[in-house]
Structure 1
């Protein structure tokens, strides 16, 4: 994998591709960050294995499904824990975060402006605090510093994206009442690779 040529194709925002990008970035693996415009998608869609974005090309072969790809790269770059139980804990948080995402994407599916506003209010006042509390508790149950073990794993990068990525548009900034989660986000954000990446793609 160290010598593999990797291209990540997605739109020019965080969304479903961000965890893939974060894993590769944190690991220091060079990749082509192919950010396309909405109007380019119809022409590119036939290349996608399932008619979806993101998709990733690895040495000329194309693969889909964002979570599967993030998991794969995490395993390749030793960010998937040290045991099957560690991997279970990472998968648990990943699936929990999927629940969070599904709550947020309701905004995009609602055409009525008044109902959309109500959904956005619920995300900020109810949904986001609920999931932030889940993340805070999981950190406390481990060691307060990481979700799994004694070092950064995919779980930490997923939570970092949940706080700093597209969800932040609707959830707002993380309050000080979640100190463990806030400290983790700051720690991930201060990594040299991540900091350089976020400077280019805030």
Structure 2
């Protein structure tokens, strides 16, 4: 049996989608979480000096989106054919388009006033635009693809979780996305993980 180890810090960040994929598939993995001191010691051993890293039978792989894609394919969360995979890739591309805004507004701007301005503007412009696009392509089933959970659903769920820390009512105008969130939160494996995460 394949042995998986997921290396990251002790918070959600770029590893949470991978964690949700593992739990959704109910596959065992070693969820390795580092302190800053531990990370400094482990960093030279990683492929690119950044986390997350997915270790498969002792071999390490970097790059978060590559990790998501691999796990989704392995565990059946990447569609049933090329067209469904394309639909998933569209959703993932929309998420990647948000990354420059997220990095600048939440993590890379040292000036607190400027940071707050960027975040406020983002909640008026960038984030609603992103959510409207996803609401438009979300199916009535509550899934982006077919009638079962995919990487696309998990990725949007995770990103909206991040935004909802600041605005808990963010999803009110988006009924399809809200319904999708409820499906994910009751999905076997994921539901148990979310419950344990809240302790």
Q: Same fold (TM over 0.5)?
A: yes
CA distance in 1, matches of 2:3, 2:181: 29
CA contact (8 A) 1:124 1:170 kept: no
Q: Secondary structure at the match of 1:149?
A: coil
CA distance in 1, matches of 2:194, 2:158: 11
Q: Secondary structure at the match of 1:105?
A: helix
Runs of 4+ in structure 1 off by over 6 angstroms are: none
Matched, 1:197 2:185: no
Indicate which of 147, 150, 153 corresponds to 1:150. Answer: 147
TM-score with structure 2 setting the length: 0.93
Unaligned runs of 5+ in 1: none
CA distance in 1, matches of 2:30, 2:66: 19
TM-score with structure 1 setting the length: 0.91
Indicate which of 93, 99, 111 corresponds to 1:95. Answer: 93
Give 2:18's aligned residue.
20
Matched, 1:60 2:52: no
CA contact (8 A) 2:135 2:174 kept: yes
- The offset of 1:171, in angstroms, is 5.3
CA contact (8 A) 1:7 1:56 kept: yes
**Matched positions, count:** 197
- The offset of 1:88, in angstroms, is 1.1
Give 1:184's aligned residue.
180
Give 2:39's aligned residue.
41
CA distance in 2, matches of 1:27, 1:118: 40
Give 1:169's aligned residue.
165
CA distance in 2, matches of 1:187, 1:113: 37
When residues 76 and 184 of structure 1 are mapped into structure 2, their CA distance, relative to the original with a 3 A threshold, is same
